[in-house]
Amino acid sequence: MVLSGLAVWKPVQFHLLASLFGGYEGARIIHFLCMSGIVAFVVIHLALVLIVPSTLLPMITGRVSLLMAI
């Protein structure tokens, strides 16, 4: 994500990096797909919290409560 962002941000200065992605257009496509994946991840998790609010704390802390394990 960061590397494709650099290639899109300054394609002249990072022309070697941009060429690894297949040029400026390739870097844009890869950056867009990665960004879409991150947005989908966040939206899905927000929807899960809205559906089952008790899952918010375990999502943040990474600990499963006893009520959820049952």
**What average pLDDT score do residues 11-36 get?**
94
How far apart CA 42 and CA 49 sit, in angstroms, is 11
The pLDDT, as a whole number, for residue 44 is 93
What's the pTM?
A: 0.72
Q: How confident is the model at residue 55 (pLDDT cuts 50, 70, 90)?
A: confident
Average per-residue pLDDT in the chain? 88
Least confident of 9-13, 24-28, 30-34, 45-49: 45-49
Residue boundaries of the structural domains of the chain = 2-69
The pLDDT, as a whole number, for residue 56 is 83
**Which segments of the chain does DSSP mark as H helices, in order?**
2-9, 15-20, 24-51, 56-61, 66-69
The pLDDT, as a whole number, for residue 40 is 98
